[in-house]
A = this chain, B = another copy of it.
Amino acid sequence: MIGSTKPLAAPLQPPSPTGRCLAPSSCAPDSPPALTRAVESPRPVKAAASSHVLRASPQLSRWSRSRALRSGRRPGSDRAKLSSASASVLPVNKSLQPEDAAVAVEDGEDDDVCVAERDAAAGKAIYMVSDGTGWTAEHAVNAALGQFEHCFVDRGCAVNTHLISMIDSMDRLLEIIKQAAKEGALVLYTLADPSMAESAKKACDFWGVPSTDVLRPTVEAIASHIGVAPSGIPRSSPSRQGQLTEDYFRRIDAIDFTIKQDDGAQPQNLNRADFVLAGVSRTGKTPLSIYLAQKGYKVANVPIVMGVNLPKTLFEISQDKIFGLTINPVVLQAIRKTRAKALGFGDGYQSNYAEMEHVRQELVHANQIFAQNPMWPVIGVTGKAIEETAAVIVRIYHDRKQKCSMPRISKRY
């Protein structure tokens, strides 16, 4: 088992030629998952070469037409491509059988569970395709989708994202793009291997699928800047694995430390923290600590509770690593009510934990402490995502360390 490279069983099987669900037996909800052993560097099972012939379905033609219109191409040109261009436009690769390049994109979707689900949800599909974890594409798409929140909130439009990771063969890549064509999806990809990226682009163009290489402009800008060509090797490639970097150990240590220090535990270790967060219950100390630990910072958090003294060590350590968290009382009450409900306390639950008067008093108490410790920056977390509060803390930390005119977080590679 150790170090072996047995392939994944079911989940990594390539989709059937038309992108439909496998035979009903493996689709049935009560059938046991076929997968039993997932090991390092899973490799896909080779697809059985399909002998379907490429033809443009009415649906595909509609999609191609509308996409051509959007992109400014002349409608109908895809039709011409479909009959003439398979030899010249389609990506050519040694691992690619000629038959694979000529697979029908069909209309029939009755037995495709996923497509049925998609139809029920009726959102526009976005495929994120990656040769690695796909987290970079996911992060970028999440950020980009933030630009369309105005539209999602009232559900005037809806989007379904699909993350398809560890795509390391041309066959699977083409299957995915075919499926994207079928679903009328947008394809956003990060593929380190330039020949894979180019094939993705060509196949998308060929099947009328809009597509964008998410990371290419950034990689190329860096390549040109440092005068070094990118390796073209995916992060998940075995040839790039095996190093245990300093960074790895730093992160692990930070997470270990942060968990042990959660919620005021072990005040004798506060001096070992990079940051100490102080705030009343439910100001987000724990998730914020954990987020910062993931970034490699050791974080301790200390709850401020009325009638309970803060640990003495808090005032003995370097004061410039301590941060206060504050929040709007109305929002805090809402969070605490949700929390009380999540813990299984009904509306009749008798406690002052979520009562407005108590919430206000606690925040006044916290702010008195902050006023007595002017060295502590106080960060209002109301309406901020965890990432946003973390960004403020990390920036202040680096500003103080660098003592430089321009606030910036610097790192050396």
Contact = CB atoms under 8 A, between A and B. Distances in A.
A12 B163 contact: no
B388 A29 contact: no
A132 B142 CA distance: 14
Contacts of A212: 217-218, 220-221
Contacts of A222: 126, 141, 144-145, 147-148, 159, 186
Interface in A108-150: 112-114, 117, 121, 123-124, 126-127, 132-136, 139-141, 143-150
A378 interface: yes
A276 to B, nearest CB: 15
A235 B384 CA distance: 10
Contact of A135 (B219, B252, B391, B392): B391
A214 interface: yes
Interface centre among A112, A217, A225 (most CB of B within 10 A): A225
Interface stretch (A89-97, A344-352, A398-406): A398-406
A242 B383 contact: yes
A133 B165 contact: no
13 contacts: A15-B405, A21-B405, A26-B403, A113-B402, A144-B215, A147-B219, A148-B231, A149-B240, A161-B411, A164-B409, A179-B406, A290-B293, A290-B294
Given A293-B290, A411-B160, A327 B29 contact: no
A203 to B, nearest CB: 16
A356 B126 CA distance: 48
A290 B227 CA distance: 38
Nearest to A380: B40
A164 B224 contact: no
Interface stretch (A49-57, A79-87, A303-311, A367-375): A367-375
A1 to B, nearest CB: 5
Contact of A151 (B214, B226, B291, B328): B226
Interface residues of A, number: 168
A225 B16 CA distance: 27
A113 to B, nearest CB: 6
A37 interface: yes
Interface string A1-38: 11110000011110110011110001111001101111
A144 B219 contact: yes
Contact of A33 (B124, B240, B320, B404): B320
A253 interface: yes
B262 A378 contact: no
A158 B40 contact: no
A248 B233 CA distance: 35
A334 interface: yes
